[in-house]
């Protein structure tokens, strides 16, 4: 992966679009993937709530296509953990409880700390470039608006995808990305607090400094700490919203 493609996902507007493009040489989506990206981004944005039915015929009329592309789009979203498909009952938006999310976060924390270690230990210049670019972007998202929180969460999401891809371990990257969308919509809740984002930003900066000095142990620990605090903030936000 060259430098430009390694950073390309940071510039994509849609989170699902970025996920579907990850690992591709050619940035082209099929019709079903385009529809999945649009539906998925609405789910992540909270425009479609947990548990909402997704009737194929209504979606086909909305996107002015036959039910075939809609059916495939829903399969894509099921694979990404955003939709559940029920025999004879159709599709609904998934609703993850705190226990399920804890398991996913625990796995992601281990994987992303491994990603940090691998990239730092290999002295990856692309990884340093990615961290520098991410920090530059995040610094502009520390305001107190909901838009700042949303953009911050999606930028971190893209940075995680890129970091995993830079390890050159296809299996590791695939596992990391397969879990990413399931947690993004909940991560946004935990990052609504301006103070929470400032703390997260500090840990990103410390991770960058560790990477510059080649301290893989510290980079791994900081990644684990960042994920642990992200999980704690998300649980607190879920409790406050009554969704846990």
Domain spanning 98-241, CATH architecture: Up-down Bundle (1.20)
Whether the CB-CB separation of 37 and 18 falls below 8 Å is answered with no
- 3-93 under CATH 1.10.10.10, yes or no: yes
As a whole number of angstroms, the distance between CA 22 and CA 27 comes to: 9
Taking only the tens place, the pLDDT of each residue in 9-27 is 444 456 677 666 665 555 6
Backbone torsions φ then ψ of 192, nearest 5 degrees: -65, -30
Per-residue CA distances from 152 to 62, 139, 141, 241 (Å): 30, 9, 6, 20
Smallest Cα–Cα separation from 178: which of 107, 119, 243, 120? 107
Q: How long a stretch of residues is the chain?
A: 244
Q: What is the pLDDT of residue 130?
A: 95
Q: How confident is the model at residue 241 (pLDDT cuts 50, 70, 90)?
A: low
Q: What is the pLDDT of residue 4?
A: 39
Domain boundaries, the chain: 3-93, 98-241
């Amino acid at each position: 992966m060259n430098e430009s493609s390694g950073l390309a996902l940071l510039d994509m507007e849609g989170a699902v679009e970025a996920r579907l493009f990850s690992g591709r040489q050619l940035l082209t989506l099929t019709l079903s993937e385009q529809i999945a990206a649009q539906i998925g981004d609405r789910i992540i944005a909270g425009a479609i709530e947990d548990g909402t039915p997704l009737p194929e015929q209504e979606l086909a009329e909305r996107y002015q296509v036959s039910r075939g592309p809609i059916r495939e789009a829903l399969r894509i979203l099921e694979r990404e953990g955003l939709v559940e498909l029920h025999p004879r009952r159709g599709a609904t938006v998934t609703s993850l409880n705190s226990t399920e999310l804890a398991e996913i976060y625990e796995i992601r924390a281990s994987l992303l700390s491994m990603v940090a270690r691998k990239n730092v230990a290999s002295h990856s210049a692309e990884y340093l470039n990615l961290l520098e670019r991410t920090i530059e972007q995040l610094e502009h998202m520390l305001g107190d608006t909901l838009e700042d929180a949303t953009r911050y969460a999606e930028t971190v999401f893209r940075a995680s995808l890129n970091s995993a891809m830079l390890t050159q371990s296809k299996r590791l990257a695939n596992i990391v990305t397969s879990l990413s969308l399931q947690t993004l919509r909940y991560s946004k809740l935990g990052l609504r607090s301006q103070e929470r984002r400032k703390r997260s930003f500090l840990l990103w900066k410390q991770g960058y400094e560790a990477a510059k000095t080649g301290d893989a142990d510290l980079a791994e620990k900081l990644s684990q700490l960042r994920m642990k605090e992200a999980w704690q903030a998300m649980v607190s936000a879920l409790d406050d919203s009554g969704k846990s």
